[in-house]
Amino acid sequence: MEKEEIGIKVTLIGESSVGKTSIINRYTKESFSQELDSTLGANYSQKKITRHGKKIRLDLWDTAGQEKYRAIGRHFYKESYIVCLVYDITNNDSFEKIKSIWYPDLKEYGEKLKIVALVGNKLDKYLEEEVKEDDARKFADEIKAIYKRTSAMEGTNIEDLFNTLADKYLTEISGMIIEDDKIKIKKGDTKEKKKGCC
C-alpha cells in the first residue's frame, strides 16, 4: 500500500532583499532573477520530495520583510513546524535584526514552532561579507538552530538546506535516526509517537 504524503509547513522570515523569494524560486523552479519585486504580505510555493522512502510535500511560505507586513507574517510562522531566519551575509544590519527583532518575534508568536534554521544567503558575494561566519554559528548554537550559508544565485546549498530540514522533521515526528543516509528506528519510540498523533 502506498504511504501517505507528509505535509510540512515551512516559513521564511527576515528583512527585505535578503533573498527569501530567490531561495524559494531556486529550490522550486531552479531559476534565479535579479529583478524581483518585494514580497507583499506572503507568497506560497510547494515542492514534493522523497526522503528515506517518505513522500513529503513542503508548503513554503515567503513572507514580506517590511515592518508594516510583520503582523501578517506572524500568522504564517505561528502555525509552521519549520521557520527559516534568513539574512544577507553582505549586510550586517540584516543579521542584527534577526537577533533583535525576528527571532524574539518568532519566540513570542511561533506557537507550534519546532525547528529553526539560520540561513546566511548571498554566499556568491563572499568577498563583500560583513557577517562573520563564527558570529552566525555562535548565534545558531545559542538558539539551537540549523545553520546554513546559501547562494540563491548559484544554487549553493539550497537543496541541502531543505533536505536537512526535512530529515530533521522526520526524526522529530517518527523517532527515526538517519545515519549515512539510512534509517534506523529508535527502540520504544515509534509506538509512543503513534499513540500521541492527531
Helices (H), 1-123: 20-29, 70-78, 92-97, 103-109
Confidence of residue 32 (pLDDT cuts 50, 70, 90): low
What is the arithmetic mean of pLDDT over 61-87? Answer: 74
pLDDT at 115: 93
Residues whose CB is less than 8 angstroms from the CB of residue 96 and which lie 6 or more positions away in sequence, other chains included: none
Q: Which three cell numbers mark 50? A: 522523497
Residues whose CB is less than 8 angstroms from the CB of residue 45 and which lie 6 or more positions away in sequence, other chains included: 24, 25, 28, 60, 62
Confidence of residue 20 (pLDDT cuts 50, 70, 90): very high
Residues in the chain: 198
Assess whether pLDDT exceeds 80 at residue 185.
no
pLDDT at 107: 87
- Greater pLDDT, 67 or 7: 7
Q: Are strands 146-149 and 176-179 parallel, antiparallel or unpaired?
A: unpaired
What is the arithmetic mean of pLDDT over 66-94? Answer: 79
What is the arithmetic mean of pLDDT over 78-95? Answer: 93
Q: Which three cell numbers mark 166? A: 526535512
DSSP state of 128: G
Q: Which three cell numbers mark 97? A: 535584526
- Greater pLDDT, 110 or 55: 55
Confidence of residue 197 (pLDDT cuts 50, 70, 90): very low
What is the arithmetic mean of pLDDT over 112-117? Answer: 82
pLDDT at 124: 95
pTM of the predicted protein model: 0.82
